[in-house]
Structures are given as C-alpha cells and as structure tokens.
Amino acid sequence: MKEVIRINQCIDDIEDELITIRRDIHKYAEWGWTEFRTCSKISEYLGKLGFNIRVGREIFNRQTMLGLPNEETLKEQEERAISQGVLKRYVEKMSGGYTGVLATLDTGRAGPTLAFRFDIDANEGIEADSLEHRPFKEGFASINKGAMHCCGHDGHTAIGLGVSKILKNLENELCGKIKIIFQPAEEGVRGAYSMVNAGLLDDVDYLLSGHIGLSTEKVGQIVCNTSGFLATSKIDVEFKGRSTHAGATPEKGKNALLGAATAALNLHTVCQHGDGSSRINVGVLKAGTGRNVVPDRAEMKLEIRGENDQINSYVEKRVKEIIKGAAIMYDLRYNITLAGQAINGNSDVELAKIIENIAKEIPEVTEIIKQDKLTGSEDITHMMKRVQENGGKAAYMMFGTKRAADHHNNYFDFDERVLKIAVKTYVSAALYINGREDRT
C-alpha cells in the first residue's frame, strides 16, 4: 500500500507538466505522416530521460505505409516544423513521412517484454476560433492551418511521455523490457500496420493501449476490456474521362463527374450482410472545373467497415465491382488506392482483469466498467493481432473524461484530469507485469 501511495504521489507531482505538454502538442497540431515537430519533441524529451530511442526509417516498413501525403506536402510540413523551432537533425531522420518514435527501457534483468502504444496525430480540420472554445480562449488552439487535435491524441502523447518519465525513475524496481511506441497516422488507420511489419511487436509478451473519451463521459471512469473493433478499409478512387465543350461537342466528352456520382449512389446499396453489421460512407466527392466543361476527372474518398474481417472483405469486393461498373457505363478509366486499413479485434480477458484490479487502487477511479464496445475502428488491432498470434496478451482501455463536443468536432476539448489517471493506470500495469519480485 505504501508503494502505491508513493507512486501515485509522484504522478500527482507531474500533473501540471502533463497539461503543459498536452497543450503544446495541441497548439502545433500535425496530421498523419507529418508529425515532424511532435516526434521531435517526443525524441528530445525521451533522450533527456536517458531512453534508448529509435526514430524514423528504421521503425517502419516502407511498402506498407498507407495513405502517405505527396512529396510536396511532406516537404512543406517538414519546413514548417523547422520554422517552429524543431532541430533539423531530428526532422532529417523522419524525412519522407517516417514520423514515429520507439523508446525502449531494457532493465538487463530477466522478465517479460511489455509494450505501450500511444497515437500522436491530429485530424484534418479547422479549430473553432470562438471564446466559447477553451483552447482558443486560453491561447493553445492550433496555429497550423488545416490540422486540429479533435480526438484526444494530444492527450495520449502527454500520457505516453508521463508514463516514460515515471517508469525511468522506477527502473531499478523493474525487470524485463518495456517498449513505448509513439505511432503516427492512426486517423485513417494507416500507421500501425507499417510498424508491425517492421517487427516492432515481434518480441512483445503484453501490449496495452487506450483512448480518452469515446463511450466514457465522466472523469474517473475506466473501461478495462474494449471489444467490438470494426474491420475497415479506406479507399481513394480517381475517375479519368475526357473534357470537351459542353455545348458545342458534348458527344466527345467522357463525364467523370457522372461516373463518380453514379458510383456514390450505388455504393450505399451494398451495406448488407446476414452474418453481421457493416457500414459504408462516401465522405469526399470532387469533380469539375466549370459549368460549360464536361469534367474529365473526379475524386472520391470512401470507407467501409465490417463487424469482422470477412464481412469487410465482402463489402470491399462489392465496392470495387460497383466502381468498375460505373466507369464502364461512362467509358472512364479509374484507379483505386487503399489509403488505410484495420482488422477487427478483441482484448484478452486475462489482461483486462489485471487492469480491473489495478484500477481499484487508483484513488481517482470512481467507476470500473469491465467491458464495453468501441463501435468504431482502430489500427491498434494490427498490433494486438501480432502479439496475440505470438502467444502474448493485448488489451485496450478507455479513460473517462468530460468532452466539450464530440470527437472530430471543431469544438472538441476534454477535462485534463484524465491525463494523470491514465498515467497511473499504465504505470501500475508496468509494475504489476514487469515489477521485480524482490523490490521493496
């Protein structure tokens, strides 16, 4: 009991630092594969703590990096990060979109390998500039146009760094190895798959991750076992036709807009399967240059989800058939790109039970929810599957917090008291799993 009190007090002492980190990351929001400043700050912080850190290319498999921005965009974001005070030597390691950090604490003593994963990317969007929005009112709203932390990953980054600091201070009380993964591009489910294929999870016995908010709405709630992750595929489509004068020579045109619109309307008819639920959404449709020009190009961005991998694959197959059919109708060429993907998954009951027992010792935890469904998608499932296939255990938690608006809303904000609760949970888990038996 004295040990628990001591560690909780240590975490209480860094609460202001956690909030400062979160607000700094929030102010300089960066979306997936462009988190150059974010990763540089993470690397600098961990380096000062004395962690063994790996940054950039060496922790990714290039062939499975999905949904990368184009080279021009990546270069622009790199230059912006440098202009915002980041050391160039860090950015150079990440050039080309390799924005991620792996920190390892190797105690040199026999024991299991435990991994924590924290996602770090912002959303694409414009943050509210109203005095009713606390980040704007208090001066930490995003200054990076088109990027906003409206899902809580700024909080996850702060939690990950807080966990790192406390565990480094407790190193003599630990055994085995602890790997702390700061993952880019979770939005659009793009980043985890590449890290898995680079072998980062191959030696892991236990994996823990989590999210603030979602189905939990009060500070002090904790979900120990998250299940119901939906499999998903994110698909980009380009239709290519032929432009011409809409009045003088319409018969020479090949209308990409009509092909895309036909596809969009028909795609929403395939979301049915007798073995479980599925979803489809065409979220972006762009085409045309002028009212008197037959549009020769159209761009579509869509996503599908399935209760399991098989349903998702079925819907994806039908989606591709409908796109092909629409292209044939209007004599168009087309190109389909997989921009992101995640599989379905579930937490391991045994590991979730450990979290449940730990939560009972955290003073700020007021409600323990043994199990709940995510009813969404998360690419942590790639990491969970790799660990579970190798005989390990994985669990995903949710930490309650009051939200100013829904996730992915431009007024999103959260109660920062959740930060230290999450840190206490992760640190307690590390001590339970990797604590030395002879520690006092």
Q: Which residues of 131-264 form beta strands (DSSP E)?
A: 147-148, 177-183, 206-212, 221-227, 231-240
Contacts of 408 (CB under 8 A, 6+ apart): 123, 125, 150, 151
CA distance 233 to 315: 10
The DSSP output letter for 425 is: H
* Integer-rounded Cα radius of gyration of the chain: 23
Name the residue among 349, 274, 283, 266 with its Cα closest to residue 310: 274
Tokens of 408: 């992915």
**Annotated binding residues for Mn(2+), as ranges?**
151, 153, 187, 211, 408
Other beta carbons less than 10 A from residue 44's beta carbon? 13
* DSSP conformation class of 365: -
Alpha-carbon dihedral angle through residues 122, 125, 126, 127, given to the nearest 10 degrees: -40
Task: Reduce the DSSP state of residue 235 to 3 states and report it.
Answer: strand
The token duo for 217 is 């709405």
Task: Give the amino acid at 145.
Answer: K
In the annotated binding site, the residues are 151, 153, 187, 211, 408
Please give the structure tokens belonging to residue 105.
């604490």
Q: Are 210 and 275 contacting, i.e. CB atoms less than 8 angstroms apart?
A: no
DSSP letter (8 states) at residue 108: S
Q: Which amino acid is at 282?
A: V
Three-state secondary-structure class, residue 111: coil
Assign 3-class secondary structure to 238-255: EEECECCECCCCHHHCEC
In terms of Cα–Cα distance, which of 389, 337, 399 is closest to 188?
337
CA end-to-end distance (rounded Å), the chain: 11
